[in-house]
């Protein structure tokens, strides 16, 4: 009997020991995950790569992701477009693991970001917390191995456009041994480094670039992650990224190595097609306009009523936008706002005339005002970026102070691309300039330009009406 009891105790202890050893082995496997790749699918960049991770978590909530609630977008067929044809100028490295396109952007398959090899601020702070912060503190310094391309064993060698930050990203690519990682970001990720992140014009180039690369790879809204590789504090345009594309992740939130299934290095903002003012056109500009408006729930189209025009004047006023200008002081303001607005109203009796500081409104409210505008008036500045969203029948009157060169073609180019009439008033009287901050506008001269614009858009509308009747 005693021998039987001793045997039973020994058997129990053996089973208990095996259970403990099995538990420790399981935990070790959880921290050193294994990656299984279907190599055949690597040969087809359009296919979805199946990634099997043993005991890994693919839940991205811990990285700040939010569910996308926007309107699903369906891309138009664009196979014959010249912009898409330019993408044939690509270079494949490591069996399409790294593909560089036209020196402007790149696609990487199964890349691990190792945060220990990058230094920078998380970002997202309130501006008041980082006043006078140096701009260089808002950008990450990346060391080799920050981007680890899992399936590539040789050196990645590709040259991007001169002065693009993508060259420094390229220098931070590591190959060879696969690092351990925790989180997995499935699907598509578009990596962006923002520069003038609170300026509507410059941020619009980032929006547009992201739209372009999403279109290139046929990525629909809600099926991509935007990765900000910068450490900027919070800005008023941050939420627009989520509205347009879906999930947004700050690279500063990545605390442990993280694997991204399909990563795109987006086009640098300063190298956007929107900045090529000499170009005949910008690809898919009207589709981008529609995409932008629909993403904000705006689908109505205003019809021109020349008996009751809607004239919107944009005011430039001081406001705190980023840490390096704590005074909030802006230039190119209109000194005699009240006089100017009253002159327009007295000239256009019975019409709707309004003056707005448009940056005080959220993006949806801004767009609602713009799509309901027939003539847009304003000093040269980021607010005139809204020329992109005006109705097709609309016109724009742009004002420039004497110290600002009319050679800045940002908004006259947007108008030309959209076939919207544009008129310019350039102050020639330096006595009208107040300490280079405000301009006393010649209300008679500018109002005459608005009257001329009225005649232009209404006569064009009349021509189009007659043309339709003749065709009918």
Ordered structural domains, the chain, with CATH = 35-288 (no CATH), 300-471 (3.40.50.2300)
CA nearest to 122, candidates 250, 248, 234: 250
CB 304 within 8 A of CB 458: yes
Q: How many Cβ atoms from other residues are within 10 Å of residue 409's Cβ? A: 13
* The pLDDT value given to residue 468: 56
Q: How far apart are CA 466 and CA 461, in angstroms?
A: 9
* 215: nearest Cα among 271, 285, 150: 285
Let me know the angle formed at the C-alpha of 470 by 469 and 472, rounded to the nearest 5 degrees: 65
Tens of pLDDT along the chain (472 residues) come to 545 555 554 555 555 555 544 444 444 433 333 333 332 332 333 333 333 222 233 333 345 444 445 556 777 765 556 666 666 678 888 888 999 998 999 999 999 999 999 999 999 999 889 899 999 999 999 999 999 998 888 888 899 998 999 999 999 998 877 778 888 999 999 999 999 999 999 999 999 999 999 998 999 888 899 999 999 999 999 999 999 999 999 999 999 999 999 999 999 999 999 999 999 999 999 999 999 999 999 998 889 999 999 999 999 998 887 788 888 888 899 999 999 999 999 999 999 999 999 999 999 999 999 999 999 999 999 999 999 999 999 999 999 999 887 778 999 999 999 999 999 999 999 999 998 689 999 999 999 999 999 999 999 767 666 555 555 5
Cα gap 67→57, rounded to integer Å: 18
- Choose among 454, 460, 456: nearest CA to 308: 454
**Cα distance between the two ends of the chain:** 109
Give the model's pLDDT for residue 375: 98
58's tokens: 């693919």
């Amino acid at each position: 009997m005693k021998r039987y009891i001793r045997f039973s105790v020994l058997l129990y202890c053996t089973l208990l020991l095996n259970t403990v050893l099995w538990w420790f082995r399981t935990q070790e496997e959880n921290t050193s995950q294994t990656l299984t790749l279907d190599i055949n699918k690597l040969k087809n960049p359009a296919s979805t790569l199946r990634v099997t991770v043993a005991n890994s978590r693919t839940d991205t909530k811990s990285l700040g992701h939010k569910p996308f609630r926007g309107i699903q977008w369906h891309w138009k067929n664009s196979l014959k477009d010249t912009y898409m044809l330019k993408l044939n100028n690509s270079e494949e490295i490591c069996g399409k693991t790294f593909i560089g396109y036209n020196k402007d952007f790149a696609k990487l398959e199964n890349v691990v970001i190792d945060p220990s090899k990058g230094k920078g601020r998380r970002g997202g702070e309130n501006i008041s917390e980082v006043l006078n912060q140096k701009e260089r503190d808002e950008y990450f310094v990346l060391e080799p191995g920050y981007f680890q391309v899992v399936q590539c064993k040789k050196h990645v060698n590709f040259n991007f456009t001169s002065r693009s930050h993508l060259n420094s990203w390229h220098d931070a690519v590591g190959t060879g041994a696969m690092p351990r990682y925790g989180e997995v970001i499935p699907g598509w990720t578009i990596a962006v480094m923002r520069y003038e992140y609170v300026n509507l014009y410059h941020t619009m180039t980032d929006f547009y670039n992201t739209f372009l690369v999403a279109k290139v790879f046929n990525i629909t809204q809600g099926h991509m992650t935007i990765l900000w590789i910068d450490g900027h504090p919070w800005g008023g345009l941050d939420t627009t990224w989520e509205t347009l594309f879906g999930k947004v992740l700050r690279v500063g939130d990545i605390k442990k190595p993280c694997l991204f299934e399909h990563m795109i290095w987006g086009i640098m903002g300063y190298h956007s097609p929107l900045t090529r003012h000499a170009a005949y056109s910008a690809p898919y500009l009207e589709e981008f306009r529609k995409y932008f408006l629909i993403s904000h729930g705006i689908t109505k189209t205003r019809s021109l009523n020349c008996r009751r025009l809607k004239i919107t004047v944009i005011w430039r006023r001081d406001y705190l936008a980023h840490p390096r200008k704590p005074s909030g002081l802006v230039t190119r303001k209109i000194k005699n706002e009240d006089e100017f607005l009253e002159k327009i109203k007295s000239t256009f009796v019975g019409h709707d005339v309004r003056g707005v500081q448009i940056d005080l409104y959220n993006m949806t409210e801004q767009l609602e005002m713009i799509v309901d505008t027939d003539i847009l008036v304003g000093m040269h500045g980021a607010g005139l970026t809204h020329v992109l969203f005006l109705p097709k029948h609309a016109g724009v009157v742009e004002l420039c102070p004497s110290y600002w060169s009319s050679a800045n073609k940002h908004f006259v180019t947007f108008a030309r691309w959209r076939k919207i009439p544009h008129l310019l008033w350039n102050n020639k009287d330096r006595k009208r300039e107040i300490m280079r901050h405000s301009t006393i506008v010649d209300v008679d001269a500018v109002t005459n330009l608005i009257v001329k614009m009225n005649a232009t858009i209404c006569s064009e509308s009349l021509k189009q009406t007659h043309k339709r009747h003749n065709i009918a």
